[in-house]
Structure 1
Amino acid sequence: MAAVLAGIGGFLPPRVVTNEDLSATLDTSDEWIRTRTGISERRFVSGGLSTGGLAVEAGARALRSARADAVDAVDAVVVATTSPERLCPAVAPEVASRLGLGQVAAFDLTSACSGFLYGLAASAGLIASGAADTVLFIGAEAFTTLVNQQDRSTAPIFGDGAGAVVLRRGEPDEPGALGPFDLGSDGSLADLLAVPAGGSRQRSADGGLGHGAVPTGDWYLRMEGRPLYQQAVEHMTRSAQSVLKHADWSVADVDWFVGHQANVRIVRAVAEELELPEERVAVNIDRVGNTLSASVPLLLNDIAARGDLRPGDRVLLSAFGAGLSWGSAVLVWPDVAAVPVS
């Protein structure tokens, strides 16, 4: 048996933040941001909206996309996030409750920008093991709350949002069946992209004295951009090549490359390494920024909703993120309803 994609949905918070908005408080400009990242605008949470609310909205849309009785069929809810509501407990049980799914299995996983690929694999594992017949899997991020908005090297990059898919038990040869996965990590480079404070390492080191005991900057993301770029291109390329080999696909078989939207230059560099033409490379980073675990499902929903991604198209997914971690997967796109995210 296989995990088959049966529904998809996305949600973006209403607050739009343009490059011009950022330029009002940062030493930067619209041209500087666009030429280095490909981003023109992104969405920020506000007014109390956070990861859980984003996840609920995207999850509800994915359930509607799947079928009218999808709510009654869900056996498990998995939420991938790097910006949890709280350190404890996980947000997934609350999301399941708010969606009216009852006392189903529910848990979070954290793999930063690779979260959607890792979560797909974990959700597929629940189905393969017989623990669930239908899984609602959501990538949701309010990561801008962990970014120093006075840091011009990180503030322009990230946006908030959520993307969700419904996976059901099915046959490995039917459209929507998730193909081979390739996952990897390198923890020796974890400090290249990290939020130093807030976890047990910092709390143990300062004797549990709390927020004021560490430098304010440690509560926000730190990023080493140049080495991350090199690592991202290398590992996404290798991972994509590996999963294509295991799927017995050639590059010519790929109709769409849907890569994590970290930076448009990374996406294009990976596509160039794979020798994929530009017209088969999906991009939406210009209007959403880097939404971490929500990136890939939001992009899938976008190109499906506008009719560019069609039933029968062969799709290559790939992502890279903090950890360091990376992953890839393939699927043949099924006939599912996708609604544009405004």
Structure 2
Amino acid sequence: MTRRSVIRGTGHYLPERIVENSWFEGQLETTDEWIRSRTGIERRHFAAEGQNTSHLAIRAARAALDRAGLTAADIDGIVLATSTPDFTFPAVATMVQAGLGMSRGFAYDVQAVCAGFVFALANADAMIQARQADRILVIGAETFSRIMDWTDRGTCVLFGDGAGAVILEAQEGAGTSDDRGILSSDLNSDGTYRDLLYVDGGVSSTGTAGQLRMQGNLVFRHAVEKLAKTAHTALDKAGLTGADVDWLVPHQANMRIITATAQRMQLPMEKVVLTVADHGNTSAASIPLALSVADGEGRFKPGQLIVTEAIGGGLSWGSVVLRW
């Protein structure tokens, strides 16, 4: 028998404020049509004043617990992915822990920007396999609206705020690719590309939060190449191929990257979960948001094979293959 990490429940939360593309027309030299045609984004959510990343994460965590029929007392630990923490420290995960009323277990953050949730999911899976925990709450939560340069139309129209969560639970499998749960993962980073996507501030450099900077064309080229490759690598590790995939749940960066990646994987768009039009790019929150939305709609059936993949600043990228 093999110990597997199975998704027991999903949940998400989006701030109440919805920002349509038309809002930017009064702020920048841009149009709704320009944004839609280049990104596929139609709207996004922005956190309210005083609404922090931890607040969004707590709401998503509670939703996942409710859907799973569990309470915080059933959770052994929290692994949370974010690039927009409330404070330099402590970790946002500890604030979620307190917000849920947990007084035991571990809670810590993972930072790999848009790839953060994939890294957090693989990390939590490794802890479950090592018998460090039986149930782990894995969360992606961001308030990217707090680090936008509102004069840069190439970046500020792309991002939104939100949080998504999944509960991983240890279950026994036969040790084959037919098992439910996480079957494989593939994680990568290459710091020589750090200047392609970064924030120009930080504690030890400027003492400020800074603002997001991106070389969009270069990020696009790396994304399409690296996302398809990492997905195939993870499938190979599980002894599977693209023909076995029922659903691709990609990082919701923009529609052009998602479409190009699906084409390289030879997957029809009917097998791709899309939320980018309504959420924008929510960085580490985008995959768990998409998982929760599709789960809530009943799109995933038991036994179906799902591939998640993402790329973010660092550059960091990776994928996880799991069976629902």
Whether TM exceeds 0.5 here: the answer is: yes
Matched to 2:298, the amino acid is G
Equivalent residue number for residue 96 of structure 2: 95
C-alpha contact 2:4 2:180 (8 A) present in aligned 1: no
Structure 1 residues 186-197: aligned runs within 5 Å: 186-197=190-201
Deviation at 1:41, TM superposition (A): 0.1
Matched, 1:312 2:303: yes
Matched, 1:177 2:178: no
Deviation at 1:175, TM superposition (A): 5.9
Equivalent residue number for residue 214 of structure 1: none
TM-score calculated relative to the size of structure 1: 0.90
TM-score calculated relative to the size of structure 2: 0.95
Deviation at 1:311, TM superposition (A): 2.2
Write the distance in 2 (CA, Å) between the matches of 1:248 and 1:196: 42
Structure 2 gap ranges (5+) = none
Matched, 1:83 2:84: yes
Equivalent residue number for residue 123 of structure 2: 122
Closer, same or farther: CA 188–17 of 1 in aligned 2, 3 Å: same
Equivalent residue number for residue 213 of structure 2: 222
Matched, 1:43 2:45: yes
Matched to 2:312, the amino acid is G
CA-atom RMSD, angstroms? 1.4
Equivalent residue number for residue 336 of structure 1: none
Closer, same or farther: CA 172–292 of 1 in aligned 2, 3 Å: farther
Higher strand share: 2
Deviation at 1:293, TM superposition (A): 0.7
Deviation at 1:2, TM superposition (A): 1.8
C-alpha contact 1:77 1:96 (8 A) present in aligned 2: yes
Post-superposition CA distance 1:157-193 (Å, at most 9, x none): 0000000011111124576411110110110001111
Write the distance in 1 (CA, Å) between the matches of 2:28 and 2:301: 41
Aligned to 2:227, which of 236, 241, 255?
A: 236
SS at match of 1:171: strand
Post-superposition CA distance 1:66-115 (Å, at most 9, x none): 223x3222111111100010112211111101101113211111000101
C-alpha contact 1:4 1:175 (8 A) present in aligned 2: no
SS at match of 2:167: strand
Aligned to 1:278, which of 237, 244, 269?
A: 269
Paired residues, number:
319
Structure 1 gap ranges (5+) = 204-209, 212-217, 334-342
Show structure 1 runs of 4+ deviating over 6 A. Answer: none
Write the distance in 1 (CA, Å) between the matches of 2:180 and 2:8: 7
Deviation at 1:248, TM superposition (A): 1.7
Equivalent residue number for residue 206 of structure 1: none
Closer, same or farther: CA 6–83 of 1 in aligned 2, 3 Å: same
Deviation at 1:47, TM superposition (A): 2.5
Write the distance in 1 (CA, Å) between the matches of 2:8 and 2:182: 11
C-alpha contact 1:316 1:328 (8 A) present in aligned 2: yes
Equivalent residue number for residue 207 of structure 1: none
C-alpha contact 1:171 1:177 (8 A) present in aligned 2: no
Post-superposition CA distance 1:27-84 (Å, at most 9, x none): 100000000000000000113111000000000111111223x322211111110001
Equivalent residue number for residue 156 of structure 2: 155
C-alpha contact 1:6 1:176 (8 A) present in aligned 2: no
